């Protein structure tokens, strides 16, 4: 039987095993691999698993380890899923699919996106926003890191001057929300789902990070198994 896992640190409390079990009615094994070093986590993958999901802080490390990169992985510079193949290890970034499908599901047209944050999730958010046809602006605590994402940038203290119709918020729930974040007229998709910072914000529509998690998982599980996962069962599991 094929075996799969999520690697990262920390990963306790992740919903991925529950989603994966629901997707295929428990037909495949799926484990959590929590290691303080990427090298240790990668070795567990080599020894035990056919494919892995990759979460923080190892998405950039995984990018450098694979043999083949998908288009989304190349565009983002980050990998959140790796599978074995006859070509070697193939890296994907299904976080992009997660954002695109979550926003489409909302049903509200968007054209001006603000990405808040500069980490691995922000990289995926930028690519996804472009696929949705948006003009993209990035803000974060480091303007240097924001500029590296190849979009218009704005200092985090100046976001109140913007009028986006889509905010892709990728800061951790423990980080302070930028003062004046212009949520009122925007669709807000927040990556953090365990301790969201914007769930009560006044906005046009709020999309939980659980929808992002769900849709990236659907795309990823297809790549793992070659089989269609049950979206209905996965949604119920959330």
In a domain, 73, yes or no: yes
Residue among 59, 87, 104, 145 flagged as catalytic = 59
Tell whether 133 and 169 lie within a shared domain.
yes
In a domain, 99, yes or no: no
User: How high is the pLDDT of residue 81?
Assistant: 98
What is the per-residue pLDDT across 1-10, written as a single tens digit (0 to 9) for each?
A: 899 999 999 9
Tell whether 183 and 231 lie within a shared domain.
no
User: How high is the pLDDT of residue 120?
Assistant: 84
DSSP states along 110-145? --EEEEE--SHHHHHHHHHHHHTT-EEEEE-S-HHH
In a domain, 44, yes or no: yes
Tell whether 77 and 136 lie within a shared domain.
no
Tell whether 196 and 218 lie within a shared domain.
no
Kindly list the distances between the CA atom of residue 210 and the CA atoms of 42, 85, 166, 187, in Å, as whole numbers in the listed order. 26, 29, 17, 15
User: How high is the pLDDT of residue 233?
Assistant: 97
Polymer length in residues for the chain: 238
Tell whether 14 and 89 lie within a shared domain.
yes
Provide the β-strand partners of residue 175.
none
- Percent of the chain scored above 90 by pLDDT? 95
Average pLDDT, the chain: 96
Model pTM score? 0.93
Query: Is 59 among the residues known to form the active site?
Result: yes
User: How high is the pLDDT of residue 238?
Assistant: 87
User: How high is the pLDDT of residue 196?
Assistant: 95
- Give yes or no for a cis peptide into 10 (omega within 30° of 0): yes
The pLDDT-based confidence of 101 (bands split at 50, 70, 90) is very high
In a domain, 41, yes or no: yes
User: How high is the pLDDT of residue 174?
Assistant: 86
User: How high is the pLDDT of residue 164?
Assistant: 98
User: How high is the pLDDT of residue 44?
Assistant: 98
The pLDDT-based confidence of 56 (bands split at 50, 70, 90) is confident
User: How high is the pLDDT of residue 96?
Assistant: 98
Across the range 128-153, mean pLDDT stands at 96
In a domain, 104, yes or no: no
Give the CATH number of the domain where residue 152 resides.
3.40.50.720
For residue 233, the enclosing domain spans 3-94+212-237
Tell whether 172 and 221 lie within a shared domain.
no
């Amino acid at each position: 039987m094929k075996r799969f896992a999520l690697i990262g640190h920390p990963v306790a409390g992740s919903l991925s095993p529950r989603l994966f079990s629901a997707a295929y009615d428990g037909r495949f094994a799926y484990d959590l691999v929590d290691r303080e070093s990427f090298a240790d986590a990668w070795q567990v993958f080599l020894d035990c698993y056919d494919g892995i999901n990759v979460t923080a802080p190892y998405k950039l490390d995984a990018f450098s380890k694979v043999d083949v990169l998908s288009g989304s992985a190349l565009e983002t510079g980050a990998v959140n899923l790796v599978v074995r193949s006859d070509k070697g290890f193939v890296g994907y970034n299904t976080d992009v699919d997660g954002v695109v499908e979550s926003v489409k599901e909302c049903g509200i047209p968007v054209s001006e996106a603000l990405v808040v944050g500069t980490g691995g999730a922000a990289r995926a958010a930028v690519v996804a926003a472009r696929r949705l046809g948006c003009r993209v602006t990035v803000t974060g605590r480091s303007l240097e890191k924001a500029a590296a994402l190849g979009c218009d940038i704005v200092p985090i203290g100046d976001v109140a001057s913007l009028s986006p119709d889509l905010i892709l918020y990728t800061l951790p729930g423990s980080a302070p929300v930028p003062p004046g974040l212009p949520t009122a007229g925007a669709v807000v998709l927040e990556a953090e789902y365990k301790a969201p910072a914007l769930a009560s914000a006044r906005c046009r529509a709020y999309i939980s990070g659980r929808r992002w998690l769900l849709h990236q998982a659907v795309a990823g599980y297809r790549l793992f198994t070659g089989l269609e996962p049950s979206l209905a069962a996965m949604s119920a599991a959330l």
